[in-house]
Structure 1
Amino acid sequence: MTDDAQVLDYLKRVTADLRRTRAELDRRRERDSEPIAVVGMGCRLPGGVDGPEGLWDLLDREADAIGDLPEDRGWDIEDLRGRPGMSSGGGFIRDVAGFDAAFFGVSPREAEAMDPQQRLMLEVTWESLERAGIDPHSLAESSTGVFTGISTTDYARVTTSGRVPTPEGAEGYLMTGTAASVASGRIAYTLGLRGPALTVDTACSSSLASVLLAVRSLRQGECTLALAGGATVMSGPSLFLESAKQGVLSRDGRCRAFGDGADGTGFAEGAASLVLERLSDAERHGHPVLAVIRGGAVNQDGASSGLTAPSGPAQSRVIRAALSDAGVGPDDIDAVEAHGTGTELGDPIESDALLEVFGARTGGEPLWLGSVKSNVGHTQGAAGAVGVVKMVLALNRERLPRTLHADQPTSLVDWASGGVRPLAEARDWPRGIACAARGCRPSVSVGPTSTSSWRRPRPPSPGPTRPSP
């Protein structure tokens, strides 16, 4: 072989290698940015909400789910009501002690020692799989991952304080029953799952951080299906007592998000679960695609004006990072489901961050700003996932629900400086002409973590089948 022929042969081999490398890089880039489908949802919330359909009914009726303090938990209600700065109510789940232990293979004594948050996550996770048309038993030995946000662990304090008697024979179950780490591990154990099982505590962004971790785990191939969400149950009144001392509670337990009458946050309970899958897998398996998550981001405030005070610049940065990760710009976003806790400190900071990012929009419509907390209260560790459930419902119903108590937007925000407006009334949200061409319509759910989501057009899917125990 001549020298020229050898050189030519070498160049051909190098070119082929480069093509293979480029193709592999393209496949990895596509995998790392593949949309993640929401194929199932479950939730339990104040107001008797026992699923997504119930939540939409509550939102569509513009109902307020805030009620009196619970009288079935051993709390000294009269003492609490007499405390300075105390809320007169909050959002509480009905029959939070109700649990079909036998259905999940749990003994009655172990069930009594279990944190109600663990019980709720078992229930809503099971229901979210049913709504996705997936038999939970079929996931045994699969690489399904579990990502659970838990930020409250007061059940352990309640059971060890003596205020609530420890059930006879349940002492040996208290360690696992009250450990936050077991909230995700118990789901994996009950269903026989082999993927990652993580319990996340980032305070009020816990469940939204869990969703982001699930998205990244799916894209990296650590799991083939992900169960992400979070739960909060206030077994004791300690959160109210401490918050009352700090003066951050709403007088009647309601979150007046972005309203001029905002006077503090209103705490609530809740649980939500999302079944997530790579879009290509969901379409191949014939699972219902309710929405897709394109991207997300997470950061920390750093040194702000106080340990618990939010940072406007940090919120602007994380929103921009989420938009960049999703491959969209401010003009592509129609609506934001905000943190919106109804405090005079947090809401203006969050609003100003949104105005900084979205204020220079060139479209005719403003960016619509909502908060499900105005209906059900601040569900804390579950709040982010509850917000995602709300936006998925809004996408599929093509309607943005009203944010209660925001008829008169807060005067602490210069709304005239940009195109951001609170949802003082419900609005139709039909598919726009620009987005129809690409089969999507964007929204963003914002907290310390931000996620962007779209609905893709699909034929209607049948409702979930609910096998009897």
Structure 2
Amino acid sequence: MRRVDEAALRRLVAERVAAWNGTSPDDVPMDRPLADLGMASRDAVALAGQLSRATGRELPTTLLWETPTGEALVARLCAAGAPGAPAAEAAPVPRAVVAGGPAGPAEPVAVVGIGCRLPGGVHDPDAYWQLLSAGTDAIRRVPEDRWRDFTAFPPADAHPYGGYLDDIAGFDADFFRITPREAAVMDPQQRILLEVAQEALDHAAVPAGSLAGTATGVFVGISAPEYGQVTGADPAAVDPWAPAGGALSVAAGRLAYVLDTRGPSLAVDTACSSSLVAVHQACVSLRTGESDTAIAAGVNLLLSPAVTVAFRRAGALAPDGRCKPFSAAADGIGRGEGCAVVILKRLSDAERDGDRVLAVVRATAVNSDGRSNGLMAPSPAAQQALLERAYAGAGLAAEHVDYVEAHGTGTPLGDPIEAGALGAVLGVGRDPDQPLLLGSAKGNLGHLESAAGIAGLVKTVLALHHGTIPPSLHCERGSSLTDPRLRVVTEPEPWPRYGGTAVAGVSGFGFGGTNAHVVLEEGPSAMVPVRPAEEPAARVHLLSDFDTERLRDTAGRLADRLRD
């Protein structure tokens, strides 16, 4: 081990920071968070490599995020280099405070219905499960009619790949009793949310009309305001309906209005954790009695190339537009779009009503990074505290958790930080032969941002329901995981049920610092409605609709389902 020269280390760090922000090394404030001084993820990885060579020790790529300031970084490396001192990588991560201590097990919440519209032509849960089971990569070129002015950007910013929906312009306005004029100025995110919510209610066998006047809560994760920005660009052409059509808050309010529900109606924007925070709020509302039924959703559409261009200029995007979660080939995110909705009820109510229970929410948790190594930098301590609170709330032992649907964006730094937190909390007491399994739907769909968490949650609910964990994509060159207690699922495999019952977690982290985790368990096996002893040889199904063509389409889809 090489002797550590404090002055040389200080100079090295100052020179690297100066290169990031174009200042002199002598002017670098070593007491400020490195991320505030211009450090990006790739800069952190590069500096960790330089420090490894300077100290003659293998240092973790997460080092700079665990040690925010230049002063703290140099002090940690020097302390680790002293005779008899532990290695730098063994330094403890600061513990985050969990307010009030861990909560005990709360009343379980049942997932009784799902709706989804996702890349790869996915229009329902069955199609989503087929895509996941087959290991389908849904990334493609941007639809030709999507960004007509895309060529106006410099060639270096042209990044045409992502997870796109087939059609975002179509909308059945008549079904929702919305006039053509109002529908024309509605954000497509509002339109798709209405349709997918209706499909989720159908999947749950809950007549939409039965919710009128009830304590049904609506919780929608949504964070992209692009439609309102585009439609409001020319004040002279603004339509009177445009403010409501483009407001994110109205996405939840319009759904509550259409259904005439009287519970809470909330639009949640915590960036990439929005939809999981919406699920958390929905579960809290059910457990406190504020709501009797909850509709939790997430929606995200890529209506403008502006954010994509900004991400490209920041070096955040993978060149091929694909997220590669926990892969040795991880090189950035790929953006995606979609919508997913879950219908939630208290488990006791679902059992009373004879509902089909697809999975059970045992616990949820939300927290904040606080002052991490930069406003948009992840916090290892906060992620650990989040997991500890979630599993304490579920009353589950760490070694009984089988699988985590990770945030897993496929970035060289974000994935190791997440894996480190998972290992620190859920690796405790784990038999090496029973590793914590990991995956992320982002490999299939791209990063759906405000809808990412609920897309992962729906994937996990379907996996629990089918008893099989589908593969996580793009680990052909091997995994980036170094903890033997963790393993990426690369082929479909039966649910291991380490503790006798299938248990999973779902994570979502927002770049503003809001983290969310949901603990899921397989549904009760005996949830089969009582049927007559003698079934009739045939059944008559009555279908109705306002529109003849739509009625034929519904009948055709039902026929396809019955054939399957």
Where 1:33 maps in the other structure, the secondary structure is coil
- Are residues 1:329 and 2:397 paired? yes
User: Aligned letter for 1:65?
Assistant: A
Q: Does 1:450 find its partner at 2:494?
A: no
Question: Which residue is 1:260 aligned to?
Answer: 328
Task: Tell me, yes or no, if structure 1 residue 65 matches structure 2 residue 150.
Answer: no
- Partner of 2:491 in structure 1? 425
Query: 1:67, 1:458 → 2: CA distance?
Result: 42
Which residue identity lines up with residue 206 of structure 1 in the other structure?
Answer: S
Contact 1:399 1:427 in 2 (8 A): yes
* Residue 446 of structure 2 corresponds to residue 377 of structure 1: yes
1:155 and 2:227 matched: yes
Query: What does 1:51-450 align with in structure 2 at a 5 Å threshold?
Result: 51-80=124-153, 82-84=155-157, 86-161=158-233, 171-363=239-431, 364-411=433-480, 413-416=481-484, 419-429=485-495, 434-435=499-500, 440-447=501-508, 448-450=515-517
TM-score when normalising by structure 1 = 0.87
Give the distance between the partners of 1:395 and 1:69, measured in 2 at CA. Answer: 33
State the distance in 2 between where 1:270 and 1:231 align: 6
Distance 1:279 1:47 in 2: 33
**Alpha-carbon distance in 1 for matches of 2:507, 2:543:** 33
Query: Structure 1 280/218 Cα, relative in aligned 2: closer, same or farther at 3 Å?
Result: same
State how far apart, in whole Å, the 2-side matches of 1:466 and 1:215 are. 33
Whole-angstrom distance in 2 between the partners of 1:123 and 1:200:
19
Decide whether the 8 Å contact of 2:226 with 2:304 is kept in 1.
yes
Evaluate the alpha carbon distance shift between residue 465 and residue 289 of structure 1 in structure 2; reply closer, same or farther with a 3 A threshold.
Answer: farther
Percentage of pairs with the same residue: 45
Residue 40 (1) aligns with residue 113 (2) = yes
Secondary structure of residue in 2 paired with 1:134: coil
Work out which of the two has the higher radius of gyration on C-alpha atoms and give 1 or 2.
2
Alpha carbons 2:402, 2:496 under 8 Å: kept: no
Q: What is the rounded CA distance, in whole Å, between the counterparts of 1:358 and 1:332 in structure 2?
A: 9
Question: 2:100 aligns to what?
Answer: none
Cα offset for 1:158? 1.6
- Compute the displacement of 1:87 (Å): 3.0
Q: CA RMSD in A?
A: 2.2
8 Å CA contact 1:294, 1:454 repeated in 2: yes
Alpha-carbon contact 1:205-1:384 (below 8 Å) kept: yes
From 545, 551, 554, the equivalent of 1:468 is 545
Matched residue type, 1:375: N
Specify every segment of 5 or more residues in structure 1 that has no aligned partner in the other structure, as ranges: 1-28
Query: Is contact 1:366–1:420 with CA below 8 Å preserved after alignment?
Result: yes
Please list the CA deviations of residues 293-346 of structure 1 after superposition, one character each: whole Å capped at 9, or x if unmatched: 010111111112221111111111101110011111211100000001111121
Once residues 53 and 445 of structure 1 are traced to their aligned partners in structure 2, the CA distance between those partners, rounded to angstroms, is 20
SS at match of 2:224: coil
- 1:230 CA displacement: 1.0
Displacement of 1:161 in angstroms is 3.0
The code of the aligned residue for 1:422 comes to V
- CA shift, 1:396, in A, is 1.1
1:185 shift after superposition = 0.4
1:338-381 deviation digits (Å, cap 9, x = unpaired): 00111112111111111111223333311100000000010010
**Residue 407 of structure 1, CA deviation:** 3.1
- 1:424 positional shift: 2.1
Secondary structure, counterpart of 1:241 in structure 2: helix
Letter in 2 for 1:454: E
Conserved? CA contact 2:404–2:507, under 8 Å: yes
Q: Rate the CA distance shift 1:218–1:275 in 2: closer, same or farther, 3 A.
A: same
Distance 1:409 1:466, change over 3 A: farther
Q: In structure 2, the residue corresponding to 1:317 is in which secondary structure?
A: helix
Contact 1:69–1:77 (CA under 8 A) maintained in structure 2:
no
Per the alignment, do residues 81 and 367 of structure 1 end up closer, same or farther by CA in structure 2, a change over 3 Å counting?
farther
CA distance in 2, matches of 1:376, 1:361: 34
Query: Deviation of residue 257 (structure 1)?
Result: 0.8
Return the alpha-carbon distance in structure 2 between the equivalents of residues 466 and 410 of structure 1.
50
Q: Secondary structure at the match of 1:120?
A: helix
Q: Give how far 1:460 is off.
A: 5.7
2:298–2:339 contact (8 Å) kept in structure 1? yes
Q: What CA deviation, in whole Å up to 9, does each residue of 1:376-435 have, x standing for no partner?
A: 010010111111100010011111111100233444x4233xx11111222111656x42
- Decide whether aligned partners of structure 1 residues 307 and 467 sit closer, same or farther in structure 2, where only a CA change above 3 A counts: farther
2:449 counterpart letter in structure 1: Q
Number of residues paired by the alignment? 426
Superimposed CA distance per residue, residues 6-52 of structure 1 (whole angstroms, 9 cap, x where no aligned partner): xxxxxxxxxxxxxxxxxxxxxxx99x811000000101001110011
- The secondary structure found in structure 2 opposite 1:249 is coil
- Give unmatched runs, 5+ long, in structure 2: 1-102, 509-514, 532-540, 547-564
The 1:237–1:105 alpha-carbon spacing in structure 2 relative to 1, beyond 3 Å, is: same
Q: Which moved more, 1:170-179 or 1:97-106?
A: 170-179
Would the aligned equivalents of 2:402 and 2:497 in 1 still touch at CA under 8 Å?
no
- Looking at structure 2, the residues matched to 88 and 458 of structure 1 have their Cα atoms a distance apart, in angstroms, of 48
Cα contact 1:47–1:65 (8 A) shared by 2: yes
1:6 matched to which residue of 2? none
2:142 partner amino acid: L
In the alignment, the residues of structure 1 paired with residue 153 and residue 319 of structure 2 have an alpha-carbon distance, to the nearest angstrom, of: 13
Instruction: For residues 265-298 of structure 1, give each alpha carbon's deviation from its aligned partner in whole angstroms, at most 9, with x where no partner exists.
Output: 0000010101000011111111111111010111
Query: Would the alpha carbon gap of residues 93 and 334 (structure 1) be closer, same or farther in structure 2, given more than 3 Å must change?
Result: same
Task: Flag the 1:408–1:467 CA change in 2: closer, same or farther, 3 A.
Answer: farther
Distance of aligned partners of 1:387 and 1:133 in 2 relative to their CA distance in 1, 3 Å threshold: same
